Chain A
């Protein structure tokens, strides 16, 4: 019998931890020519999750693509995770996914049935999202990679941007943090079965329900928390909104084992790159080092981070509870200022919010 293939053995970095570091990216992208178009609602200047282009007064199209190397060993699960992650960019813009195309890199000498399972996992998630999968593109490569290009739609007036949070806003995150660290522990064969099950469940949960439950509320800013970690994505939001964001680390939901594994040193390299990137904006106060590690941990298929007015936050939390997201929702902090000369992120043990 053929030995069972462990997909993660092919990848130096798995999932969103494979992302090129934010410092390198901003240096390279800064040299590209600027594009402008009166109907382009969201371009790449603000490092948002996807492009949004207005077609009519009622419809804008969202275009995104996302792919990465294996983050789990099981091919079907890897397909699910990669597709869930790619679809998330559409939800993070407030949209509804409509069309998906596969992006595939796969070694010519690996069993094609493994690829079949990866694609089946992806297709099942596209179906669950209510979109259609209509083909794609594949090439031979030594390291397997999979993802989707997704087109979605949104009303031009209901586009969620990753900036625009206002003083007094409450920041709500719809999934628990820790997937980069827990996946590292799984790869090191040091994770508990409970932690492994939880990280897979979280990474394969679509952000669809969270986005739909948020529809009745005022959303000043939204992004999905992925490769740059909570701190990286918060710093983008703070910087572009000129905001001072205060995060209360003790109120944040983390995956089982994440804190323990971080203390053991099972931290992906991407977390340290993320820390370097935010160092100019970060005031870590007196919080323990482990929280800085957890908050900079690159998330694969992470949750949506919403900035909502304080008087709507409690109702939004109730709406998420009713929607039964299947993940842990937490209040991560609040916006102290939105016209700051020096935008920043302050970490505190506790933040009194609601």
Chain B
């Protein structure tokens, strides 16, 4: 699974990386972010592209798996 590790990055960098990954990768993508609002933005990006997603809390942030 493709992974985008955006932990520790400040906005809008996680969104730039997520947008690029979602456009180029049709398979599953795991996006890692630090802040709760970044998780919500990644989820919005997934929805905007018509993709399903599941989010979980990890030790140092959140993991959003985009299908």
Contacts and interface: CB of A to CB of B under 8 A. Distances in A.
Contacts of B36: 272
- The size bracket of the interface on A is 10 to 19
Contacts of B41: 265-267
Interface string A11-24: 01000000000000
A268 B15 CA distance: 11
Contacts, number: 50
B37 A264 contact: no
Contacts of B48: 263-265
Contacts of B45: 264-265
B19 interface: yes
A187 B15 CA distance: 11
B44 A189 contact: no
A276 to B, nearest CB: 10
Interface centre among B36, B37, B38, B48 (most CB of A within 10 A): B37
Interface in A184-228: 184-185, 187-190
- The size bracket of the interface on B is 20 to 34
A269 interface: yes
Q: Is the interface of B mostly helix, strand, loop or mixed?
A: helix
Nearest to A264: B48
B10 A12 contact: yes
Contacts of B10: 12
B11 interface: yes
B40 A264 contact: no
B32 interface: no
12 contacts: A184-B15, A187-B12, A189-B16, A263-B48, A265-B40, A265-B43, A265-B44, A267-B40, A267-B41, A269-B35, A269-B37, A272-B40
Interface of A: 12, 184-185, 187-190, 262-269, 271-273
